[in-house]
Amino acid sequence: MSNLDYLLPYKKNIDWPELEKLKAERESWWQRESSKKWKIDEYPSYEEVKTHYDSDWVRIEGSPESPQSKIDLEEKAKQLIPWKKGPFHLFDLKIDAEWRSDMKWERMIPFLPDLKNKTILDVGCNNGYFLFRMANYEPRLALGIDPVLPMQAQFDLIQNYAKNDAIKFELFGVEHLPLFKKMFDVIFHMGIVYHHRHPIQQFLDIRESLVPGGVAFLETIGIPGEESYALFPEDRYARMGNVWFIPTMSCFINWAKKARFINVEIVSDTLLTSEEQRKTPWCPPPFQSLNDSLDPEDSTKTIEGHPAPRRFLIKVQKKKGN
């Protein structure tokens, strides 16, 4: 049997032949010469390992099998720089990533549905920080997808010690959501929509992948404004070339309503600051972060003169019975 066996209980909700072909194609990426720097073939040994998912630093405790284990672990983790999402406390090693992802998670906690025994998808999960936070709620399955090899390498490093069978990672993208129909109880789609050309199509695909009555958390960069419109930058936004539409909150909500979601709730509308996103030793220069993308004379604007980024997060629901 294939290593997609964990999805067999959901086979009736999956285009299985296409998913198996996709899995094989994505696994072949590891054979590329350029991928070898991300591949870790052997992990340092630790004993009496215990994982804590309930604090801002996803924390793994244990005893190194030898003094060399600690040295090797730090070398392996540094091999995977830059670490964009976190933070992780891996034995004696503190990986303080560029993003304080715990801040976003804390904003969501009061709005989370019951995740126990639920089937969850995290689209664009990066290294899986949110998956590990979800593990505290004992889901049946928390699947993260992100088509980026270094992200899987970072996830695999943490998961090698956490060994949580409910948490999975695949090198799939948001464009592969149509392979899943009425499967997930909860979908997290955070920091993805503005990187793609068709925001409403993404939301429609999310809706189709949810069970009737399922819930989604949708998050985006946003701009201030009362009316329903979106900035469409001619070239770059905050030094990013892969940004298409940056909506006002009203526009963002209307995208969700156009995709026929109901019960739209605003979870948060916050100005992005360097407390939440900044350079660290685990995401050092020449990698850039928020302060590099803002006008040094006016932090209310990006380096290109656009409004500085806010972060909008909403919770939506699919109608029951469809």
Q: How far is CA 90 from CA 40, 46, 109, 261, 276, in A?
A: 16, 11, 24, 39, 21
Distance of CA 111 to the CA centre of its chain: 18
Residue closest to 272 by CA, chosen among 233, 315, 221: 221
Lookup result for tokens 């201030």 = 224
Assigned token pair, 273 = 């600051």
CA distances (Å), origin 213, targets 113, 146, 184, 260: 12, 25, 10, 12
Q: Please state whether the predicted TM-score (pTM) of the whole model is above 0.95.
A: yes
Asked if residues 154 and 127 have their Cβ atoms less than 8 Å apart, the reply is yes
Give the residue ranges of the chain where pLDDT is below 50: 1
Which pLDDT score is estimated for 321?
80
CATH numbers and ranges of domains, the chain:
22-38+100-317 (3.40.50.150)
